[in-house]
Amino acid sequence: PRLNDDDGRVVLRRNDVRARASAASSATPSSFPSSPWPRSASHDDDDDDAAASRRRNNVVRKKVAARDFRHPLDQQNTSLLEAIPGLSNITKSIVTPVAEQMLIMEQISTSVLVGPNQLPSVHQLVIDAAEVLDVKPPALYIRQSSQPNAYTLAISGREPVVVVHTALVELMSPAELRAVIAHELGHLKCDHGVWLTVANLLTLGAEITPLVPSFVAANFNDELMRWVRAAELSCDRAALLVAGDPSVVVSVLMKLSGGCPKLSGQLNVDAFLDQARGYDEATASPLGWYLRNAQNKQLTHPLPVARAREIDKWA
């Protein structure tokens, strides 16, 4: 990696990643390069994940700090969110003790808790990602759902919870699923916890108390969604640090855009990146810029093509 002297950010170049992945694939455990990333897992050798994990345990890595990968828009929108008057009261009105208990009971009663004796291969993916990002492995639940999704719930004083839907597990390869889990752990590494939980509660139907003035609540909703979209960009970078290969992260985004198990073998990452560049060109005009902002304002996540371009540039 190259250290940017201006902001202390570790910049991961694509050639560096590919060279490191190539060297690691033929190296013995003792000769692995010292790096914060595990070797890149091929989509074709996912059955070797257990052996690769044991080799990665012998690698001495540089500890990763949130500032190494936090996106500038994340930092900027965090400052804007913190400046909202009455923020503390709004947060308390949403993340109530009842809401906290409801979230915990919901996961325990309707999902499967992953562990050493329950879906151990998925559990190992959590351990691998947590090790690279230097965070405590959270509880991870697999939930039955036809909607490919994953989200993080971080409640003050409680162990964080990551939830992954079964449709997402079916859609992703093991390397891609590890990148998805790393993305969620990126929220924990960047301390997105409380506000991310607030956003998830609002998405699930929670309401801001009527005691909060309506104009304050509306402003909070807009700023929170803008912050969530920026936070996602940081966590895509966390996924890249764990995956060690930008094509894995872009493949995740591509599959979330229009993938299904039947077509996954025909999807092309480079073609999707070309599509993303085409979107950049289409939105370069003043009208395109306006329409792009209007389109984004309705979303909880940045557009997949925009995320693919961002991760490709950072790589």
Residues annotated catalytic, as ranges:
184
Q: Are 307 and 272 in contact (CB under 8 A)?
A: no
Distance CA 112, CA 108 (A): 7
Distance CA 124, CA 142 (A): 14
For residue 114, give the nearest of 137, 88, 87 by alpha carbon. Answer: 137
The string of DSSP letters for 89-113 reads HHHHHHS-HHHHHHHHHHHHHHEEE
Distance CA 186, CA 172 (A): 19
Q: What is the DSSP letter of 13?
A: -
Positive or negative CA dihedral for 44, 50, 51, 52?
positive
Distance CA 216, CA 229 (A): 20
Report helix, strand or coil for 143.
strand
